[in-house]
Chains A and B, each alone.
Chain A
């Protein structure tokens, strides 16, 4: 495991070296945070609640959304398709490392940098606008929340890894990846709570793994789930993790058997 923590440390240093890209990414995140803060503030200005959320719950959703976006969606798996298409994957295959674990630790370093930054943004905004955050009343909520966030990180990593593997079949995976990322972000509740949508649309989205990336963990944090809903949600998240692990394994082994190392 020591070598993977070394990978984590290397990419952490690299991430901090590319300061311009890092600050642009964080700036983008701040703009999204500010625009949604103002939107929900305007909607809750003269009313006690909106779609079942009071002001502090909605603001907490927006702040939590910023942190979870940084933690769950930060990824460097977009490099996988390039590694395959340009033959760089060969170098990883020859090294005594498991490429899957290597990629996961590379992602973890990206996530941890973004998490620290997102926390600072959220704390800064909280003080700047004197925001009242909704903290969980039950200490056990933190445990369930952290479990759901852990599941979300793993689930999104699997999704991204699978999309990266499309590089085995096509050199044009950039466009489909862009489409998938947008779809997943919206359907995850990374812009707004999904329960403001119509019941039919919510039911359709619940069939996908994406609501378990942002919406479900934040529902736990806001203590808006009953015990039955909490257990159901965690079990469904586990089901998706197991199903996607199987699919990713299949895609990776199938792709690897076709890999011709072109470009290396």
Chain B
């Protein structure tokens, strides 16, 4: 319990420092926040516009398709909110700051991941959560308890996979000092999950389920809520997250053991 409190205090301190940085540039922060909200709003407008001309997208209604899009946003925003520090790992390694993290009495991965907390994402996720709740209520069947639980658990599962990907990217950066762009590849691939996986053909769906598990992270939670996910796929989702977290942690250990502190 003391350990949990200690880490909560560290997070709060780092969050406060990040808030200070963002509050020092109010105009810029406002622009980024408004831009993030506008992007979500525009895509919702796009979805509504599509459904002016059709009644279904790959068999899903407007509310159901919106749930996929909102789940993509939830996983993407929460991953950025919690693991934003990873984006700066290359700079930490190259400028020698990583050495300071290594000698602190705190888990290095935790320290790196939470080095930056983007408060704009906190402000973005609130309306997204609100719209998601609204959309869920509109879906026939409403707020079914067990479906909601499956949705929440699989969304958390998606976040775990996102965490594993972030750890792997951080490990690559520690090893090579040149893998900054890898995180952007992940961010771009994530956008394939904006729409239901059912729009893709079988080979592409296979890639998104087994190779780059975007469908597991985004489509599975929405499908589970809609009662369209067979239990075996829920087990698959759990297996993917457990395996990816275990592999990425091993990779992180491997990378940090080979870190030579050459930049300090």
Contact = CB atoms under 8 A, between A and B. Distances in A.
B76 to A, nearest CB: 14
A35 interface: yes
Contacts of A41: 199
A24 B184 contact: yes
A178 B33 CA distance: 10
Nearest to B196: A42
Contact of B30 (A28, A175, A192): A175
A38 B27 contact: no
A89 to B, nearest CB: 20
B191 A35 contact: yes
A173 interface: yes
A201 B41 CA distance: 14
A235 to B, nearest CB: 27
Contact of A42 (B29, B58, B191, B192): B58
A173 B35 CA distance: 13
B35 A178 contact: yes
Given A24-B185, A43-B57, A197-B49, A179 B38 contact: yes
A38 B193 CA distance: 12
A38 B214 CA distance: 15
B53 A196 contact: yes
Interface string B32-58: 111100110010011001101110011
A181 B34 CA distance: 12
A88 interface: no
Contacts of B27: 170, 172, 175-176
Given A175-B35, A179-B34, A179-B35, A192 B46 contact: yes
Interface residues of B, number: 38
A176 B50 contact: no
B194 A35 contact: yes
A196 B192 contact: no
Nearest to A29: B188
B188 A178 contact: no
Contact of B29 (A175, A182, A197): A175
Contacts of B39: 182, 186
A162 to B, nearest CB: 15
Secondary structure dominating the interface of A: helix
A24 B181 contact: yes
B185 A27 contact: yes
Nearest to B25: A172
A177 interface: yes
A208 B28 CA distance: 24
A179 B204 contact: no
Nearest to A193: B49
Nearest to A202: B49
16 contacts: A21-B181, A24-B188, A28-B188, A35-B194, A38-B199, A39-B57, A43-B57, A50-B54, A51-B53, A172-B26, A175-B33, A175-B34, A177-B31, A182-B38, A182-B42, A191-B46
Interface of B: 25-35, 38-39, 42, 45-46, 49-50, 52-54, 57-58, 178, 181, 184-185, 188-189, 191-192, 194-195, 198-201, 204
Given A181-B35, A201-B45, 17 more contacts: A24-B181, A31-B191, A41-B199, A50-B53, A170-B27, A172-B25, A172-B26, A173-B28, A175-B30, A175-B35, A176-B30, A176-B31, A178-B35, A179-B34, A179-B38, A183-B38, A198-B52
